[in-house]
Structure 1
């Protein structure tokens, strides 16, 4: 399963690298006006696509990683509190009852 994941990431990276190489022309990127004029960048199309893909991908990915970290920490705290309570309230082991005879059909 790990090999399939690695191969899929490699194929995705190779496809994106090919996209960047094929689209090497520059394109003007105009951002919202700051002060008197616009903020202009003349970037290659592939680099522009990479920058804006990462700008849209990273915040939700980081939010998901943070949520997963918080839940794992909460589960660990709950498990440790459960383990400490289970040791305090453990019933004593039951001794076999010698007064009752063994039943055999």
Structure 2
């Protein structure tokens, strides 16, 4: 992409130099009633180009600066969120006491829940066919 930008810049410079060589004529520009500026035509063309280019370029730089700030803020937010999740303490597992009745039926569901048809069946020994 840089080579393309360089080629376009070189072509624009060459075309401006050719324009300047063939149009090196003095021009009088009346700024106010009694103030007249005498300059060459290529200088006047260059000033007109600069007056049109500089406002657009400064606007472009300000938008780019604002978007860069926004991207940096979002990246920092994402980094801090990831670090907070990484350093977040894990909840300790609740110990299961053996031999204590809990309100869970044999299908592995809580009271009022329907059993999951894809869950493995308890092959422990308290089933209907284990006696």
Shared fold per TM-score greater than 0.5 = yes
Q: Does 1:27 align with 2:23?
A: no
- Please tell me whether Structure 1 or Structure 2 has the larger radius of gyration of its CA atoms: 2
5 Å-filtered alignment, 1:1-105, equals 1-31=1-31, 33=32, 37-90=33-86
Higher relative contact order (CA 8 A, sep 6+): 1
CA drift of 1:89 comes to 3.1
CA deviations on 1:7-32 (whole Å, 9 max, x unpaired) are 2211110000111111111111112x
Aligned residues: 90
Higher strand share: 1
Structure 2: 5+ residue stretches without partners: 91-118, 121-131
CA distance in 2, matches of 1:41, 1:74: 46
Task: Compute the TM-score of the two structures, normalised by the length of structure 2.
Answer: 0.60
Structure with the largest fraction of helix: 1
Deviation, 1:72, is 0.5
RMSD across aligned positions (CA):
2.1
- Give the SS at the match of 1:89: helix
Q: Structure 1: which 5+ residue stretches go unaligned?
A: 93-99
